[in-house]
Structure 1
Amino acid sequence: MGEKLHWWQTRWFVVAMALAATIPLLWPDIPPLVDLPGHMARYRVSLVIGDNPWLHRWYDFRWSLIGNLGIDLLVIPLAHLMGLEPAVKLIVIAIPVLTVTGLLWIAREVHGRIPATALFALPLAYSYPFQFGFVNFALSMALALNLFAWWLRLARLGRLRFRALVFVPVSCALWVCHTFGWGVLGVLAFSAEMIRQHDLRKDRQGGHWLESWIRAGLGCIPLALPMALMIFWRSGDHVTGQTADWFNWNAKYSWVLMVLRDRWMLWDILSACVLFAILVKGVRDKRIVYSRNLALSAAFLAAMFLLLPRIVFGSAYADMRLAPFVLAIAVIALRPRPGVSMRSMATLAMLGLAFWGARLAGTTWSYWLYDQRYDSVLTALDKLPDRARVVSFVGRRCQDDWAYSRLEHVPGLLLERKLAYTNDQWSMAGAQQLTARYFAAGGYAHDPSQVVTDRRCRGEWWRPIAMSLNNFPRNAFDYVWLLNPPVFDPALVKGMTPIWSNGRDTLYRIDDRTQPPPVLLPHPRRNGASVVR
Structure 2
Amino acid sequence: MTQVRQKDWVIAARALWARAGALPWLSGPGIIVGILLVCLPFALVDVPPLIDIPGHMGAAAIEAAGPGNPLEKYFTWKWVFTLNIGGGVLMKVLGAQFGILAAGWWSTVLATGLFAGGCLWTIRMLNPKGGHAAAWSLMFVFSFPLLTGFLNYILATGLALTAFAASLWLEKNPRARATMLIVAQPVAMLCHAIGGLLLALLVGAHALGRAIDELPEGWRWRDLTNRRWLETLDWKAIAHRMWLTCWPLLATVVTIALWKIFSPEPAASTNVWRWDQKAWSFVLTLRDQSQLLDAGTTIAACLLVLVGPFLGARWRWRQGLPALTVFALFLAIPSDINGSSFVDIRLLPVAAMLGLGLQDWSGARKPEWAKMVAYAGMGLLAVRLSVTAWSFAGYAEDYNKQLSALTHVEPGSRVLAFVEHTCLDESWRYARRDHLASLASLYRQAWVNDNWAVPGLHMVVPRFRPGRNFTADPSEFVWSARCSGGWRRNVDSALKYAPIERVDYVWLIDTGLPRRGDPRLQLVWQEGRSLLFKVRPLGIPTWKPKDF
| TM-score normalised to structure 2 length | 0.86
Matches within 5 A, 1:15-414: 15-48=32-65, 50-52=66-68, 55-113=71-129, 115-155=131-171, 158-199=172-213, 202=216, 207=233, 216=242, 219-234=245-260, 236-246=263-273, 248-286=274-312, 288-338=313-363, 342-397=367-422, 401-414=427-440
2:447 aligns to what SS in structure 1? coil
Aligned partner of 1:7 in structure 2 is 24
Quote the Cα distance in structure 2 between the aligned partners of 1:92 and 1:33: 9
Quote the Cα distance in structure 2 between the aligned partners of 1:437 and 1:330: 47
- Contact in 1 for aligned 2:71/2:412 (Cα 8 Å): no
Quote the Cα distance in structure 1 between the aligned partners of 2:303 and 2:92: 44
- Contact in 1 for aligned 2:27/2:124 (Cα 8 Å): no
- Contact in 2 for aligned 1:25/1:93 (Cα 8 Å): yes
The code of the aligned residue for 1:83 comes to G
- Contact in 1 for aligned 2:420/2:509 (Cα 8 Å): yes
Shift of 1:74: 1.4
- Contact in 2 for aligned 1:495/1:510 (Cα 8 Å): yes
Shift of 1:208: 7.7
Per-residue deviation, residues 418-458 of structure 1 (Å, max 9, x unmatched): 11001011111111111223233332111111111256988
Quote the Cα distance in structure 2 between the aligned partners of 1:193 and 1:503: 57
Could you tell which deviates more after superposition, 441-450 or 379-388? 441-450
Quote the Cα distance in structure 2 between the aligned partners of 1:408 and 1:76: 23
The code of the aligned residue for 2:453 comes to S
Say whether 1:500 aligns with 2:506.
no
The code of the aligned residue for 2:51 comes to V
Could you tell which deviates more after superposition, 371-380 or 92-101? 92-101
Change (3 A) 1:171 1:415: same
Quote the Cα distance in structure 2 between the aligned partners of 1:168 and 1:331: 29
Quote the Cα distance in structure 1 between the aligned partners of 2:344 and 2:243: 24
Shift of 1:94: 2.2
Change (3 A) 1:88 1:427: same
Shift of 1:230: 2.8
Quote the Cα distance in structure 2 between the aligned partners of 1:419 and 1:276: 47
Could you tell which deviates more after superposition, 355-364 or 53-62? 53-62
Aligned partner of 1:531 in structure 2 is none
Task: Give 1 or 2 for the bigger CA radius of gyration.
Answer: 2
Shift of 1:159: 1.6
- Contact in 2 for aligned 1:455/1:464 (Cα 8 Å): yes
Shift of 1:185: 0.9
Change (3 A) 1:263 1:392: same
Quote the Cα distance in structure 2 between the aligned partners of 1:334 and 1:75: 36
The code of the aligned residue for 1:103 comes to C
Shift of 1:316: 0.5
The code of the aligned residue for 2:503 comes to F
The code of the aligned residue for 1:44 comes to A
Could you tell which deviates more after superposition, 316-325 or 117-126? 117-126
Could you tell which deviates more after superposition, 480-489 or 220-229? 220-229
Change (3 A) 1:197 1:384: same
| TM-score normalised to structure 1 length | 0.88
Quote the Cα distance in structure 1 between the aligned partners of 2:49 and 2:260: 32
Quote the Cα distance in structure 1 between the aligned partners of 2:487 and 2:234: 53
2:384 aligns to what SS in structure 1? helix
Aligned partner of 2:492 in structure 1 is 466
Aligned partner of 1:521 in structure 2 is none
- CA RMSD in angstroms comes to 2.8
User: What are the ranges of 5 or more consecutive residues in structure 1 without an aligned counterpart?
Assistant: 515-533
Quote the Cα distance in structure 1 between the aligned partners of 2:243 and 2:455: 34
User: What are the ranges of 5 or more consecutive residues in structure 2 without an aligned counterpart?
Assistant: 1-14, 218-229, 540-548
Shift of 1:237: 4.7
The code of the aligned residue for 1:301 comes to V
The code of the aligned residue for 1:139 comes to L
Quote the Cα distance in structure 2 between the aligned partners of 1:446 and 1:216: 48
Change (3 A) 1:504 1:336: closer
Change (3 A) 1:497 1:118: same
2:113 aligns to what SS in structure 1? helix
Quote the Cα distance in structure 2 between the aligned partners of 1:237 and 1:88: 27
Identical aligned pairs, as a percentage?
A: 25
- Contact in 2 for aligned 1:501/1:507 (Cα 8 Å): yes
